[in-house]
Each structure stands twice: as structure tokens, then as C-alpha cells.
Structure 1
Amino acid sequence: MKNTSPLSQIYLDANATTPVLPQAAAAAVNSMKVLFGNPSSSHITGLKAKDLMEQTRANARKVIGADTGNVIFTSGATEGIQTAIISALVEAKKSLDSDKQYSLLYGATEHKAVPESLKHWNQILGINADIKAIPVDGMGNLDKQFIEQEAPSALMICTMAVNNETGVYQDLLALEQVIRHANKHIFWMVDCVQALGKTPLNLAETTIDYAPFSGHKLYAPKGIGFVYIRQSAPFTPIIAGGGQESGLRSGTENLPGMAAINVIFEMLLNEQDSVFASLDTLRGYQTQLVNTLNTAFPEVVYNHSVENSVPTTINFAISGFSSKEIMDLFDAANIRVSSGSACSSKVTRSFVLDAMGLPAWQSESAIRLSFGPAITQTEVDQACQRITSAAKALTHSCMILDNGEIDEKQPLNGLVQLRFGSNCTWVYADQQSKQAFIIDPLPELNDRLDTLLQCQQLELVAVIDTHGHADHQSGRTFLADKHLPTQQTDALGWPQACLQHSQLQYIEIGHQWLVKVATPGHTDDSMTLLLCSPFKDKNDIKQQCQFAFCGDTVLMGSLGRTNFDSSSATDMFSSLKLIHSLIGSDTLICASHDYNNEFTTHLSAECQRNPLLRNTLNGQLDVYEFEKLKADLDSHLCDQTGSEIMCGALTDSQLAGQAIVEYNHQSLNYALANDEVTLIDIREPHEYALQHTEDSSENVPLTRLVQFIQQQQQQKHRKWVLVCRSGSRSFVAAQAMHRLGFDNVAHLKGGYALSS
């Protein structure tokens, strides 16, 4: 299997790291081949190496405006931060007053390396100062009044020159006036990593004590950086040994790294011989990209202002789309961007944007597009063309509208699962009748749901909540007002003009019935909606039922909580037995929440890992025992709530992952050639359309995985191999299928990302 996308990579994640410039790489190689001597050696080879090191140091001084003070080479910014913090705190500790409480200040939008280092060394050195975050306003500017109030009792203050997520820069001169007016003796560190080459620096003319820098953010190799230390600032070496760097930082010097970063310095100092664009040119590139985003995505919102940010960073969000969806879309177009900071993993929202007070959806949907000063007009033009193409691909799968031109849209038929965070919305469309219903609509998805209905030319039959939600608002009113303005319903959206059979109410969608079943317990208004083929009586439902929308009554890995004011464990006991009698053990359950990326479940799978449910359905528990055990289960919620109201208690033992067979590209190619393996590409249609492959894979978007699972209930022993962009989605999808009895499901580790 080979990825045959003809598109070259457009790299727009320079704030995370940059490629090494060919000139810098050549200098590093030359230093390893020719100038390979140890700068501490006194022979000619060593002297030449030392001369290169001192040339690099001299150029570093010129670039940052530091004709005085020390410039010490480091392994990168993190080491520079440690150097600054240790030096400041060791000195501060000498004059502490035991009767006074001190503080350490840092900007709320600082890189995590700063507050984590402050916490670490504050504890190790036994200073025990209060560590306080300096608030920022909606523009990302530090609160100067807070600094005025807190700086007099602070030992150290840490700020940034340029923020790594938003590109917002601080007015260092204005900050200096505030800081030094409040406390002339406070030690001041400024993280200058993102400032190098993007904004002028003249550090010697300031009272900044420490300023760390990193080479790999500006086309030098990883592993080389430097730290500026003001002439009068205290210094404590953090690495002792052979006395290199005049005893300031021991260890054999990284000469190849210095040779490489020296090339960068020379380009910054000699504009005529540089591949770096001017700041005005970079601002023009930023404007071109912003204009393209505005045209391609009319719902785009920017998370910072151009007025106080460097020209090489654009941080934006697109209403109705998560950051991962946009990253996957751009990746399919071979554009590399990131969601917030690339220095941390498994981050679902941006703490930087949270600190700026931006709405939660912007923080959760943030995309950082960043480029370096060596970017070219050709690359910017290509990026704009691909952004436009990516947006058009979204129209094919009806995620955005394209002037009402819907003739070539991919038709939707069956069930779609849309998510925002852990919340689930379910859409069912019947292509033949052009009808649809929506269950548990989320307000964050209103625009996407509205677009989907319009794009697919679907008639909305009903929009229903399975219960009154305690953890979020419903989007039902918006959709009902727009698409069903005259429909009379109850409080949850169930139509009054419904039909009745076997004492059950139902509505028709195409040739299917959506049946309402009252199942109180989680809340007193909870109901279960069953999508079935027409049935003769209640005993016939389980044979005809395809999906059971249980809301929060049955969750993947748990049962809905019953400790709300409107809850009743007694009622839930009866409701669980009723649901089981109607749908049996293998009907797919579509819950309102998916806390662990499991997509769907059925009672058979839940009973295997949930003793409370199993013993309830097999009759081993009476209602009183159920109530007691359910209260114990709900007691686990106190440790899980955080900022989100959890609707069911989950335990690690219940959610143990399954061992999934993993293919690499070599073993998968062998299996495709010699075995009966079916390849399933689970990327979304717009990704699939943007990046074709030579294989004969079937496209089953992850949003339609539940529909696929239902259709393949009789094919559980078939050999499936799931594949996506990076292997992360295919892995969780394979786990979900395996848990539901698909015993030959596997996935491609590393996905298409490792295929080229």
C-alpha cells in the first residue's frame, strides 16, 4: 500500500520547530568533517574550533543587542530557563526574611516550561514562595496593575517576548517601567524563543536579567540554544565538570550546532545575503493567508489581533469544527499546522486562550498556523491554493455550504455520530424519502447540522432530546424554529402528531419507525428512542430494532448517574429491565456521551464489564440491592467532575483497552497480497477526496462507524484492517469493534503518515 498524493509538503508549524536550512546543515557537516576539534584543546585544530565558537558568540551578541553581559551556549530554551531560575533563586535565598511570605510571578500565557520549572526549583531549594500567574487581557497583554501590586514581595518575574501559540508580543519597555518602579531588585527573565528573527531586540539597553533562546525555532538544529545573562545578574552554573564556557557551563561544546546557528545569525545580520524575508514582507504573507481563510471559511474567528502579534503566527478557530478536524483536513492537503502548543500532548484546549478569556469553543477549536522568515511567496501561494481546495472538499461531505450547489454532494444514508467534546449528537437520514431526524442536538453543532440538512436537501421530521441535560444546553430550539416552526411537541421535542402501535408512540421516517419508550431513572423525563423496522407487537421489536438511543441511561462503561434531584435509582432499575426486554442483547446503543472514544455498545458487551448491569438483567439483584450498589457507583463521580458534569461514573477496570493486532506497511502489503483482508479507510470523505491512495480501500468515515458496525453484524469474523492518517483514529475504532465481537479487526500503525 502506497500513498500516492502528488502534493509536496507545505510546512506551517514553525513555532513548534523548523527544518534546518541547507546552508546551516552544510556548516554543521563541515564542522564535523573539518573543524571537528575540541575548542578546549590548545593545538591548531582546537584553536580553529574555538575561533568558530567565539565568532558565533559575537554574532549572537549582535543579533540580540547584547554588547555587555554573558552569552552562554546551551542545549536549548529549557536549559536556559533552568539556568535563569536557578541563578535567580539561589541568590534570592541568601537574603530571605523568615517572617515574610514571598512570591514568584509568571505570565498566565507562558510556555509550560516556565511555571513547571518555577514550581520544581522553588520546592527543591526550599524557598516555598507562592507561585502566581499574572493575568492577561483579551489581547494577551499582561496585567500591569497586578504586577504593580505583587512585584514588591516577589523574588522573580518571568514574562515572554512573543507567545508561542498566538504570536502576541509584550511591550517590554512598558513592562520594564512597571516592574522596576514596583521592585528595582526583582530578577526578571524574558523568554525570547519566539522573538528571534521576528522582532527587534536590544537586550543590553534593558534591565532584563535573563533571556533564553532556542536554535531549532529558527532553522538551526535541535540541541543548540543560548541564554543571555545581564552583566550585573547573579549566575549559578547548573552543569559542573570540565569548566568549559569559562566555567559557566561545563561539557564539551556542541560545535556543529554552533556552526549551524552562526549561519542563521549571519543571515539576520546581513539582509542582502539572507534568505529571510523582511518584516513587511512577512506581514504581507500573513495578510494573504488571512484573506484566504476568510474566503474559504466564512465562519473563521481569529484568537488574537494582528496589532500586537508578530507577522508569522495566525491563531484561528472555525465555528462548528474541532481543532483535530481542521488538522486532519489540512494534513490531507499536505499542509502542516498544529492545535495550540506542540510541546504538550493530549491537550484538548488551549490554556493560553483560556487565560485570555476567549470562549471555550475557540479554545477547543484553536488552530495555530505559523511560518518562519525563510518562507517564500511561492510557498504562501501554494498554501492558499490548498486551503481553498480543502474548504471545497468540505462541501463534498456537506460540512460547509457552497453557494447552494449540491448536485455532486456525497449522499447521506443512515446514521451519523457528531461530537463536541464527550457529548454526542445523532443524525439519521433516509436518502430515499429525503427525511431525517436529530437526537440530542448540541448548540455547538447547530450550524453544521443546519448545513447538513440544507446541503443534503433533507426534510427534518423531528429534533429530540432524550432527557433534560444537566451538563449542557440543547440546540433543539434553534433547529426546530428554523426547520419545524409549526410542529407541536412536548418539552423534549417529541411530536404530538405521532402514531401509536402496541401502546407505543412512534413517528415514521421513510420505511422505518422511531419509537418512544419512557425510561426514567437518570432523570425523571428520560426516554429511549428505538429505530426499528415496522413490528407486529412488543415481542417482535428486538428482531426489528437497529439502534437504541438511550441518552444517559446506558453509557459505554457505566450507567447514567442517579444522584440528581430528578433522578431515581428505583426507576432506573425498572427502565434497564424494560430496555433489555425490548432490544435484547445485541442491538447497538447510541448514548449521549462517549467519555472514552468507544462510539457505541450493546447490552451484551456492557454486561461483560459491568457487574451491576449484568446482575440486574439476569435477576440476581433486587431493586434494593441495586439502589445500594448504584449509590456506590455514583460516589466515584466526586473525583471525576472537574469543570465538566459527568453523567456517569467510569472506572479503569471497566475501560481496560483491548489488545489490537497492528500492521506496519510491509506486513499489510503482504496481507493484502496473500490473505483475505479488507482495508477500511476511516478518514472523513473530505480527507479521502483530498488524498487518494493506490489501494482498493473502502471509505467508512469515523462519523459513520456505528452505521458500519450495525451493517456488518453478520460479518464479525471477517478480517478487517482499519487505516487513517496517523493511526490514532484507526486504533480506537478497532478497539471499539473488537469489544463488540469483531475478533479479526486490526489497524495500520502509523497510518498513511508513515507510508511515504
Structure 2
Amino acid sequence: MEIYLDSNATTRVLPAAQRAALAVMTDDFGNPSSTHSAGLRSRAVLDSVRATARRVMGASRGRLLFTSGATEGIHTAVLSALTSLRHRFADAGERPRLLLYGATEHKAVPEALQHWNDLLGTHLELLAIPVGPDGRHDLRWLRAHANQAALVCTMAANNETGVISDLDGIARALQGSPALWLVDSVQALGKLPLRLDDLPIDYAPCSGHKLFAPKGVGLLYVRDGAPLTPVFTGGGQEEGLRAGTENMAGIAALGAVLSAIEEGTVFQPSSMLAAFRSQLVDALREAFPELELNAPLDCSLPTTLNFSVPGLSSKLLLDLFDSAGLRVSGGSACGASKALPSYVLEAMGLPEWQTASAVRLSFDASANSGMIHEACIRIWTCGESLRSNCLTSEPSENLTPPELVTRFYVDGACCYLVADPASRRCVVIDPLPELTAQLAQWFRCRGYILAAVLDTHSHGDHASSAHALRNALSPLQREPDDCDPLGWPVGSEAIALGQHRLTRLAIPGHTKDSTAYLLHRGPTLSFAFVGDTVMPGALGRSDFAQSAPLAFVNSLRKLEQAVGPDLLLLPGHDYDNRFACTLRTERIAQPLLARALTQQTDPREFAVAKADLERDIAATAYQTMACGARVDKCDKEASVELNRHGFEKLLAEGKRPLLVDVREAFEQRWFGLVPEFNVQVPCQAAPASTIVNLFQSWLAQPETPVVFFCRSGNRSAKAARALRRLGASQAWSIEGGLALWPEVTSDVAAGSAVAMALE
């Protein structure tokens, strides 16, 4: 069962609103501008909803226009305010020079201000009103700038944090100012009394889809006497102030919601909503003891929580909650696709770790105790899932054993942890400073011994974090510090890891000290960690001061001789999420590498050709086109997505596919949802961070289709493309992931997972 906790982004449509919309579409479907009986009935619906809206919004006076939503209302208000400047101030020298907006406003407001300021040529200066750590406006600053403002834009309640603005204080700060005042009331309508008759608010836009109505309908309140310039003109609807035939289905639905608010029998009172929020806070603190709330509860909406957990990214938490059937967000839904810190929290002065890892939980006013109780149980279970994977400071007794190789990925850079459960010894290869705390936590939680921290080469642009990682561990958890500059234990021919051992191979080129680390199991090679010498689709640069370009050719030949054409090479950088490569794939992808491995190629000629290419490629372009790489044809042209029809076609052809779940272990721990098919198919867990351990086994069975899946289809598509690039033509990704697959089933469905967690 899905529990929706992202109501600040949008709400479900109230059943009564659905019925009202359907009634208008089937019975009272007339055009409200028509004068016949059908049109008059439709006009009666329009007038009735407007009257209800006036009562709910406390707006007995002024104009109330139906719009397509808050964005249209904001643009109408801004256009109206700026157009009126010419008439209000005949002398241009007396015109206000500022447009003020709250630093935590929804982006629709400053974007609208900039748009119309440029288009109308009003040339006003846009300034953000500062907010304090509590998210409320700096009224002293506002008072000092109010006399120079043409328009002031503030929110009634913030969409990310739920912080409620001090509208009375803002009204006092604007006394005597020539500014018009716009109050974004989207999050406040239905949750707070707007009191539009009592406050000098000139414009108040609202949106229906944040309040149980469909998307595409909204309201704009305009105070009596406030200027109003239509954005749309034409048929004279809305008294000539907003042209276009009214969205009667949406308006009727919004009217049903407003009536329910007015009656007070459908939605929970504020006191009950606050009690629900307290239960959720308690559950979150129990699941994540180090949790920090990002906004004070005493001046926030009772339906909104914004929090961060030290050491846990918002993406990790969102994936975890989503796997538990809890739908939450990382902030504003409009900016969810952009992986950026929250500008709202930045404006509040919160530290970087909080702004970059914030999660928003918001429920609606129809929530009930059963839903909140179930949400709390799932939150507790999420905490246990993290503990069982050593992702919190409090380990669980049910630890998930580590795989042989785990890949950590930060902005294109790769760090590897090689672990042996039998000996409890580990090696970290190419450590990254961003991972020091996470890796140290991993060792402390599991009690493993750090045998070595190895770099594949000295770095030209940053210092190694190997020393920091060693210092983060107690002396009992690390081997002695007697090692060379790249971290290799002095005097050792190999590093023993139980049944595995690690040896090194000098391959200068990218740098003079570039080294590959070869992982053996008995006489067999398992992996080669090659740093930046060979990357999927690219060769490492050789124009650093410490590079050895003349050695590059011989190093590539030496590597081929040592590992052969088909051993998986694990790179230090992987900008396209290809996970691994082989010398066979890179001969095809990289003409320059193919030349290097041709015995007739002179090392000096190769170095000159490589230098010429490097001069043609700007340093910033190495992430997408490095040293002779070309985009693989299969990456761009061959689709890896498989829908239900495609899957059934595989079955009809007599193929027995293997389903592979690439979600991380903490997502799979309690919530093992898998797609449901008419026949049973084998399913395997292969988290993206450890998927390289299974590539060779899949490549060894080319006749078996491997069908990857994840939550959204993003990670699984990367895995499928990576496997295809390595030579498996029957690698697929379930289209749209679990989110879009028609049905899912599980041996450990959400309810039974919760029961298991509590036993």
C-alpha cells in the first residue's frame, strides 16, 4: 500500500470533487456565457463556487478570478503591478526602483518578476527579502526598503519548510509604502485563515491541485482598487478580466473542496494534524537519532516536516522511503529533477550538509490515525534497514554481509572497497575525501581491518584522502602505516585478502607512478583496478606535470599482456556509468587505444597524436569526450527498455529471462517488490554499487536474457547498457521501472515487511 506524504507538491482529488466535476461534464455542461437554460445552470455553478471561495478566503470585497493555477495568478499580478507604474507615477524620477520578494519564495515569483520587468522595460532592481534561521522575513530590512518598492511579494506559508509568514508584521512594515503587496497563498488556503478583508493584500493567487482539486484550476484575489491588467483578452469572460471559456469541471471540483472546508466535517482540525506531525517526528527521531529539523515546528504548518540526517544524502533517503512505499520529496516538486541544494534552506543560513540533504514530508488534512501509524512503522523499518547496512552510527545485529567489490561513486569519480568476509580484511582503492566519514563508519560498524588504502596514481589536482581515512579509524582497525606514497605496504609482494590477493602492475603514462592493482583468486584474475589509464570510452590524460606520455604505449601493451582482452577493468573515473570495460571493448571504442596496441605503433608517434587530441579537447570536456573516445553505437541507438509486451515476447520465444534488481541493499532489505508476470521467473539481487561482481557470470551465459529493474528505470537502464557494451546482446531494462510497471508483487510486501521488522 502506497502512503502519500508529498501533499505540498500535489494532492489527490477529493471524491466529492470528482463527483462535482463529473456532474458538470455530464449534466450541467453548458457554456456559462450562453444565455439559454443550460448556460444559466452552468453560470449558477460558477457564481456559487465564487461565493463559497469568498467566504473561505475571508474576501467579501474585491475581485475573485478563476485561473489555471497559481503561476497564472502570479504573472497576472506582476503584470498588473508593473503596468500601473506609468499611471501611478507620472514623473519617472518619483517611481519606486525596487521589486522585493522573499528569499524563500517559490521560483515562480522571481521568475515572473524578471520576465515582466524585462519585457515591459521597467528596469527595476530585484532584491530578495532576507529571512532568519526560522525562515521568517526580516521585517526590519523590509521596513528600511519598503518606501522604494513598487511590488512586494511574500508567501503565506512556505512550500518546502511549511514556515508560516508573519503577515501582520509584514503589513505593519509596509505602512506608508507605495508598494503593492502580493501574497502567494497556495500552501495556506484550507490550512490557515487568509483574512483578506482584514489585511492590505492586493493580490493573492491560489492553486486547486494543492487542495484536493484537479490540476489546471486556481483563484486570484485582487483587492478593490488594486490595478488589474488581463494577461488574456478575447471573449470577455470573468468580467473581461480573464478571457477564455472557464474550466467548469475544475471549478466545480474546487467548489466541492471549498464547501467541505467550510462545513468542517471532512478534514481534520489543526490540533489533530499537529498531533499527527508529532507522531511522525517521534518516529523519524527513533529511526534516525541524529536527525535535524530544518524549520521550527511552532511557526510551521502542522502538515509539513523538513529534515536532514547527517551523513545521508537526500537521494539515499528518497530511494529508501520510496522502496518502503512512502512517497516523500527532497523539496519543491518543480525543482526535484535538479540535484541542487535547497535555496530555501540556504536563505535560512543552514549549513551546506543540511541544504544538500533535506527531505520534505507533507501530508494532507484528510490524514487519519491509521495512515499515520502505518507511516511511522515504515519509517522505523527504514531506520533498521540503514542500520543493517552500516549506513548509520548505530549498527544493527542483522548486518548484510559485504560483496567482494563495492563501488562508491562521486561526481564521476570511483572508489572501490575490496572486502573478504572470512578474514575480515579490506582494501580501499582510490579513496575520495567525500567518502571518508562513510567509509570510516563502514569499518567501525562491521569491525573489519583496513589492510591498505591505495591510490592508482598521484593526483595532479588534489591530495589523496588516504591519510584522512586511516586517521579516522582506530589503530586496532588498520594495518601499520609503513607504506609507499601510493599506500602499498613496504616490502610486500601481495596483499592477502583471505582466498584473494592483490598484486600491483606499474603502468606509467597518465602519471609516472600510475599503477594497476590486480585481484587474484588462486591462479585466476578477477578484476584489474586501472585508475585513469583506461576508462570506459576514454584514455586518461597525459599532459600533467607528472605524466609520462612516452610510456603510455608500452604500459597499455604491458596491461594487455598481464590481463588479456576480456578481464573487467575497473576505472578511477566513469562519467557515463558504464561500470567497467575490457581491452576488447576499448579497442572498438577508442581508435587511439587500438593504435597503441598495434605493435607497429611507435610510442613517440602515439604521444604526439595523443597530445594533439588533448589540445583539441578543452579540459572541461573530458567528462564527455576524452582522448579519442567515441560514443558507442549501442549506447545511443539500441533501446534497452522492455515493456510488458516485449517481456511476453521473450517468453513466447522460449527464453527464460533472469530478473535482476539493481536497487541498493538498503532498499531491498525489507521491501522486495518485483514485477509480476504470468509465469515464474528467477530473480536476483545485484545492487548497482556491487553489480560488477556479477558481470562475468552473466556474460558467460549469453543465451539468457538479463532483465534489470529498479524504482524508476534509470539505474537499470545504465546496467543494461553497460552489460551490452561488454558483449551481452540480451541485456534489458524494465521500461519505467517499478513505478510504471502495471503490477508488482512480493514475498515480502509492505505489510508483511513491517510485521517482519517488528518481530
Asked if TM exceeds 0.5, the reply is yes
Identify which of 481, 488, 502 aligns with 1:514: 502
1:650 deviation in Å?
Answer: 9.1
**Matched position secondary structure for 2:233:** coil
Residue 690 (str. 1) matches residue 671 (str. 2): yes
Task: Look up the SS of the partner of 2:335 in the other structure.
Answer: coil
Report the CA distance between 1:327 and its aligned residue: 2.1
Q: Which residue of 1 aligns with 2:757?
A: none
Q: Output the CA distance in 1 between the equivalents of 2:484 and 2:58.
A: 67
> Which one of the candidate residues 598, 609, 616 is aligned to 2:578?
598
Give 1:295 shift: 0.7
Q: Paired residue for 1:364? A: 356
Structure 1 contact 657–735 (Cα < 8 Å) conserved: no
Q: Write the letter of the residue equivalent to 2:725.
A: R
CA deviation after TM superposition for structure 1 residue 482, in Å? 5.8
Aligned to 1:622: 605
- Which runs of structure 2 are paired with 1:642-653 in the superposition (5 Å)? none
Q: How does 1:127-138 map to 2 (within 5 A)?
A: 127-138=122-133
Tell me: CA distance 1:372–1:567, structure 2 relative to 1, closer, same or farther (3 Å): farther
- Work out which of the residue numbers 84, 108, 113 in structure 1 matches 2:103: 108
Aligned in 2, Cα 1:742/1:320: closer, same or farther, shift over 3 Å?
A: farther
Q: CA deviation at 1:245?
A: 0.8
Alpha-carbon separation, structure 1, partners of 2:644 and 2:475: 48
Structure 1 segment 252-401 matched on structure 2, within 5 A: 252-271=245-264, 273=265, 275-344=266-335, 346-352=337-343, 353-400=345-392
Question: Which residue number in structure 1 is paired with residue 178 of structure 2?
Answer: 185
Q: Structure 1 194/510 Cα, relative in aligned 2: closer, same or farther at 3 Å? A: same
User: CA contact under 8 A between 1:320 and 1:445: conserved in structure 2?
Assistant: no
Q: Distance in 1 between matches of 2:250 and 2:222?
A: 20
Distance 2:397 2:618 in 1: 53
Q: C-alpha displacement at 1:77, in angstroms?
A: 1.1
Instruction: Choose the corresponding residue for 1:704, options 677, 680, 690.
Output: 690
Distance of 2:543 and 2:171 partners within structure 1: 53
Give 1:189 deviation, angstroms. Answer: 2.0
Structure 1 Cα separation of the partners of residues 313 and 272 of structure 2: 31
Distance in 1 separating the partners of 2:625 and 2:514: 14
Aligned to 1:632: 615
Matched residues in 2 for 1:654 and 1:670: separation? 30
Any idea what SS the aligned residue of 1:629 has? helix
**Cα distance in structure 2, aligned partners of 1:328 and 1:116:** 30
Judge conservation of contact 1:32–1:256 (CA < 8 Å) in 2. yes
TM alignment of 1:580-599, pairs within 5 A: 580-599=560-579
Higher mean C-alpha deviation, range 705-714 or range 462-471: 462-471
- Answering whether residue 728 of structure 2 is matched by residue 748 of structure 1, we say no
- Tell me which amino acid in the other structure corresponds to 1:290: V
Conserved 8 A contact 1:589-1:602: yes
User: Which secondary structure does the structure 1 equivalent of 2:118 belong to?
Assistant: helix
Deviation sequence 1:106-160 (CA, Å, 0-9, x none): 3333222223323333333233444444444443334456545655554433322
Task: Check if 1:734 corresponds to 2:720.
Answer: yes
Matched, 1:531 2:523: no
1:357: Cα distance to partner?
A: 3.9
- Partner letter of residue 335 of structure 2? S
Shifted more, 561-570 versus 585-594: the winner is 561-570
TM-score (norm 2): 0.86
Provide the rounded CA distance (Å) in 1 between the counterparts of 2:216 and 2:649: 39
Distance 1:732 1:697 in 2: 18
For 1:263 and 1:296, the matched residues in 2 are separated by 39
Superposed CA offset, 1:523-550 (max 9, x none): 6665433323466xxxxxxxx4332323
* Residue 336 (structure 1) shift: 1.0
What secondary structure is seen at the aligned counterpart in 2 of 1:712?
helix
Q: Given that residues 414 and 572 in structure 2 are in contact (C-alpha distance below 8 angstroms), is that contact kept between their aligned partners in structure 1?
A: yes
**1:20 aligned to 10, 13, 38, which one?**
13
In 2, Cα distance between equivalents of 1:217 and 1:472: 49
**2:574 partner letter:** D
Residue 710 of structure 2: aligned partner: 724
Alignment of 1:480-495 (within 5 A): 480-481=473-474, 484=477, 487-490=480-483, 494-495=487-488
The amino acid of 1:358's aligned partner reads L
Shift of 1:15: 0.9
Deviating more after overlay: 663-672 vs 451-460? 451-460
Spell out the pairing of 1:148-227 with structure 2 (5 A cutoff).
Answer: 152-180=147-175, 184-227=177-220
- Cα separation, 2, equivalents of 1:603 and 1:354: 46
Distance change >3 Å, CA 553–CA 68, structure 1 → 2: farther
Deviation at 1:468, TM superposition (A): 5.5
Kept in 2, the 8 Å contact 1:320–1:444? The answer is: no
In structure 2, distance between residues paired with 1:424 and 1:572: 22
1:432/1:510 contact within 8 Å kept = yes
* Residues 569 and 630, structure 1, Cα contact 8 Å, conserved in 2: no
Name stretches of at least 5 consecutive residues in structure 1 with no aligned partner.
1-7, 501-505, 536-543, 641-645
Paired residue for 1:715, among 681, 701, 713? 701
* Alpha-carbon distance in 1 for matches of 2:95, 2:610: 54
Equivalent residues of 1:330, 1:390 under 8 A apart: yes
> Is 1:37 the equivalent of 2:30?
yes
- Secondary structure of 1:202 counterpart: coil
Alignment of 1:1-16 (within 5 A): 8-16=1-9
Q: How many residues align?
A: 724
Deviation per CA, 1:279-304, whole angstroms, max 9, x where unpaired? 22212111111110111122333332
Preserved contact between residue 64 and residue 201 of structure 1 (Cα < 8 Å): yes
SS of 1:545's partner is strand
- Distance, in Å, in 2 between the alignment partners of 1:231 and 1:491 is 78
Structure 2 counterpart of 1:727, one-letter code: G
3-state DSSP of counterpart to 2:256: helix
Conservation of the 8 A alpha-carbon contact between 1:559 and 1:648: no
2:403 maps to 1:413 = yes
Give yes or no for the alignment of 1:659 onto 2:638. Answer: yes
Structure 1 contact 466–528 (Cα < 8 Å) conserved: yes
What SS class does the counterpart of residue 707 from structure 2 fall into?
Answer: strand
Name which of 99, 118, 129 aligns with 2:113.
118
1:462 is matched with which residue? 452
Please tell me the residue identity of whatever aligns with 2:496: E
Residues 53 and 452 of structure 1: CA distance in aligned 2, closer, same or farther (over 3 Å): same
Structure 1 627/717 Cα, relative in aligned 2: closer, same or farther at 3 Å? same
Task: Say if 1:270 and 1:135 are closer, same or farther in 2 by CA, change over 3 A.
Answer: same
| Residues 74, 224 of structure 1: 8 Å contact kept | yes
5+ residue gaps, structure 2, are: 744-759
Distance 2:216 2:92 in 1: 39
Contact 1:463 1:479 in 2 (8 A): no
- Structure-2 separation of matches of 1:686 and 1:550: 29
Query: Displacement, 1:190?
Result: 2.0
Change (3 A) 1:116 1:576: farther
CA distance in 2, matches of 1:180, 1:567: 67
Rate the CA distance shift 1:153–1:551 in 2: closer, same or farther, 3 A. Answer: farther
Contact residue 138 and residue 356 of structure 1 kept, 8 A: yes
User: Which of 547-556 and 375-384 deviates more?
Assistant: 547-556
Q: Contact 1:302 / 1:315 at 8 angstroms: preserved in 2? A: yes
- 1 or 2 for the larger relative contact order (CA 8 Å, sep ≥6)? 1
Structure 2 residue aligned with 1:426: 416
TM normalised by structure 1 equals 0.87
2:261 counterpart letter in structure 1: L
Deviates more, 1:280-289 or 1:432-441: 432-441
Which deviates the most, 91-100 or 424-433? 91-100
Q: Deviations over 1:552-575 (max 9, x none)?
A: 444444344556665665666765
How has the CA–CA distance of structure 1 residues 608 and 104 changed in structure 2, closer, same or farther, with 3 Å as cutoff?
farther
